[in-house]
Amino acid sequence: MRRTDGRGPPRWVGPIAVVAWLSACGPALQLNRPTIDHWLLCEECEAGELDSVVALQSAAVPTLQSTIRGPEPERVQNVRVQLVASYAHVVAQLGASTPLSEAEYVQHYLQTYVATYQTRSAIALGRIGTPAAVAALRDAANDSTYSEDVLQELARALVDTIVKVEGDLQTTRVGARLPIDPAVMVLDGLGSPVPQVLVRFTPDSGSGSVSRDVTPTDVQSGRASTIWTLGPTPGPQRLRVTAGNVTAEFRATANSTQARVLTANLGQWQSAPVGTAVPVRPSVLVTDGGGGAVPGAPVTFDVTRGGGSAPAGPQLADASGVATVESWILGPGVGDTNDLAARSTGSPDTVVFHAVATPIRPSSMSRAEGNNQSATVGTAVPVRPSVIVRDGSGNPLPGVAVLFAVIEGGGDVLGEIQTTTATGIATVTAWVLGPAPGRNRLWATTRNLPGIVLEATGVP
């Protein structure tokens, strides 16, 4: 629509300008939320329009949670009335050349009006990023009544973090596909996967090509991946990843055809209890520039993080070009990431394996002291009951929480949750027998193990 007589939008404009002009017409559409509504309806938004809404933080979330569902019915109806009047004005100006019927004109601009409210509400909520704002976005993203464009904007607004799952810092020969496809996981501000958001993979100039430059994240896991084939020039290469307004990058190194190439074979991203060996021994594949195996190639494996250990000295690649470490024992820190680096003479590559050290799982629990005692009813037994927890090798296991509970006799236990000491023993503070003579029973249990019972006899 174009202004020809001083009325209406001042030039050829988009649908948002039509809505903004209509919203200024008539007292029924006077805005009662100026800061938010200025952002929802601006055509050429001035600097600071969105920032003013974001500055409201939690105070803006309830209103945006409402506007993300669209304008109030009264507003929609008032805009519909104004659009009918606007269409009459357009017909008066353009006559028979009017491209749309009145119904099409009203529906088109009304849908745009609603979509504008929804998408800009989503953008503001995404920028605010509080847990309540993220929850509002996620609720909306699960509503199938939104249009595809709005749903995509909701997904974009939810994006807070791109996590590189695998495929970073690899090396292969020039012009070859990387052994591990770059993969990412897209998360929202609460750390939950964001499904069906478009992820763009863009190699830098000279950094080769990808099989899919744009792909949506998986509905369940929020993952997306692509095949990356390196460019023709030896040296560092880079792949940029974008989702919403968040970016990440993968790096790779292209070798000349004469260099040996070292790639991970087995044993990446494992877990094992602290101080124990990982279940799968890490191994690497050694190939020449043409992709052929290099039997007998020496490979050294060195612990670079976590404080664990691996045997010193090189391991020789077998007939298939695979070299395997004898063992990799993780360090003592529960929850720590452990790294093992593999290197080979004649190759510039370093392959790093990662593993996470988990707590040692209790394997058995037995009575230590305080079983089969007797004491006067209503008093504590003379020896405080205790149990000992051991690992699978029979060693005492410290740091394990043990729960004690009275199951017969009606007495009471003080210090019902105890942690095993360095000798693997957990001891209650006191066990007070019940008021009646006879048998009293105390139950002790810990995670993943069946409980055991300690007994005492109450005497008059």
303-350 tens-digit pLDDT: 999 999 999 999 999 999 999 999 999 999 988 999 999 999 878 889
Choice between 81 and 339, residue whose per-residue pLDDT is larger = 339
Residue 292 has pLDDT above 60, yes or no: yes
Which pLDDT score, from 0 to 100, does residue 441 have? Answer: 97
Homologous superfamily assigned to 161-255: Immunoglobulins (2.60.40.10)
Residue 7 has pLDDT above 50, yes or no: no
Residue 9 has pLDDT above 60, yes or no: no
Q: Sketch the domain layout of the chain as residue ranges.
A: 15-158, 161-255, 261-358, 364-459
Residue 12 has pLDDT above 60, yes or no: no
- Joined tokens for residue 306: 């976590």
- Does domain 364-459 match CATH 3.40.718.10? no
Which pLDDT score, from 0 to 100, does residue 8 have? Answer: 34
The mean pLDDT value for 83-102 works out to: 81
Quickly count: other Cβ atoms within 10 Å of residue 390's Cβ.
17
Assess whether the region 261-358 and the region 364-459 belong to the same CATH fold: yes
Residue 126 has pLDDT above 70, yes or no: yes
Which pLDDT score, from 0 to 100, does residue 261 have? Answer: 87
Whole-model pTM: value is 0.46
Average pLDDT, rounded, for the chain: 87
Considering the domain delimited by 261-358, tell me its CATH architecture.
Sandwich (2.60)
